[in-house]
Structure 1
Amino acid sequence: MVELNDAQIDAATERGKIAHLNEPRATAVRYNRKLGRVVVDLQNGCTFTFPPHLAQGLEAATDDQLAQVEILGAGYGLHWEALDADLSVPGLLAGLLGTKAFMARQAGKAKSPAKAAAARTNGAKGGRPRKVFG
């Protein structure tokens, strides 16, 4: 176990006070079955929604499972007990719907006209060039 000194404890306490004043916190959360969205009300009066199928741990959840969401701590997280899934409210607002590895996998699934055109061009040339080891 790591021992903390008084200066480290004071610094951590100060960081917590600053975060409490500046970072978004949830005051209410619910799953809207009609919209297929998780709806989060924030302490500043704003509301945001996101489609659960994009978030790590919620991809294959049922409506009933998604409805069993609760707020963690002082409103900095969302938790689904039955799914063993947790998401950070500040992270969600920053567009982070999972861990770095999860987000990297999602980026590879992106579709765009430019990506489709590049794939067609590569296909016309015989596909992706083979790697040369040497």
Structure 2
Amino acid sequence: MADLTDAEIDTALERGRVAHLVEPRATAARYDRKSARIIVELNNGCTFAFPPHLAQGLETATHDELATVEILGAGYGLHWEALDADFRVSGLLAGVFGTKAYMARRAGQATSPAKAAAARANGAKGGRPKKQA
């Protein structure tokens, strides 16, 4: 790896200062058993909640395991030690609940009236057409 120059280091430090000022960070996090949601309080006064079954590594966790959520660093991440699961707060806010491969699998599981109708129509025609060589 090439040595970093002073200018590159200064640029990275400035990006970090700006991110610290503008990126939402967690100030508190907990698992709410009643709603079955992870609740994250943000430094900008907002609250974000998500169902753990959407998140890679949390989908089969018990209530007790989910309750052990910790905030990482300056509030940029959430961590579950027993589950070996970590998430960036900015990623969660953007709807990123796992790796690219995990998210692609989750997208394929999505259902909608249009998807159900298309599946029924394809089934009536004998299923998905064979791929041509």
TM-score tier, shorter chain, comes to over 0.9
The number of residue pairs the alignment matches comes to 133
One-letter amino acid of the counterpart of residue 120, structure 2: R
Query: Which residue in 2 is equivalent to 1:40?
Result: 40
Aligned-residue RMSD, C-alpha? 0.8
Distance in 1 (alpha carbons) for counterparts of 2:102 and 2:6: 37
Distance in 1 (alpha carbons) for counterparts of 2:11 and 2:67: 38
Q: Is the deviation greater in 46-55 or in 1-10?
A: 1-10
Once the two structures are superposed, the pairs formed by residues 34-113 of structure 1 within 5 Å of their partners are: 34-113=34-113
One-letter amino acid of the counterpart of residue 95, structure 2: G
Once the two structures are superposed, the pairs formed by residues 114-133 of structure 1 within 5 Å of their partners are: 114-133=114-133
How far off its partner does 1:123 sit? 0.5
Give percent identity, aligned residues only.
74
CA deviations on 1:76-121 (whole Å, 9 max, x unpaired) are 1000000000011011111111111111110000000000000010
Query: Which residue in 2 is equivalent to 1:14?
Result: 14
TM-score where L is the length of structure 2: 0.97
Unpaired runs of at least 5, structure 2: none
Q: Secondary structure at the match of 2:44?
A: coil
Q: Is the deviation greater in 82-91 or in 94-103?
A: 94-103
The ranges of structure 1 where at least 4 consecutive aligned residues each deviate by more than 2 angstroms after the TM superposition are none
One-letter amino acid of the counterpart of residue 53, structure 1: H
Distance in 1 (alpha carbons) for counterparts of 2:48 and 2:70: 16
One-letter amino acid of the counterpart of residue 16, structure 1: G
TM-score where L is the length of structure 1: 0.96
How far off its partner does 1:3 sit? 2.0
Q: Is the deviation greater in 2-11 or in 82-91?
A: 2-11
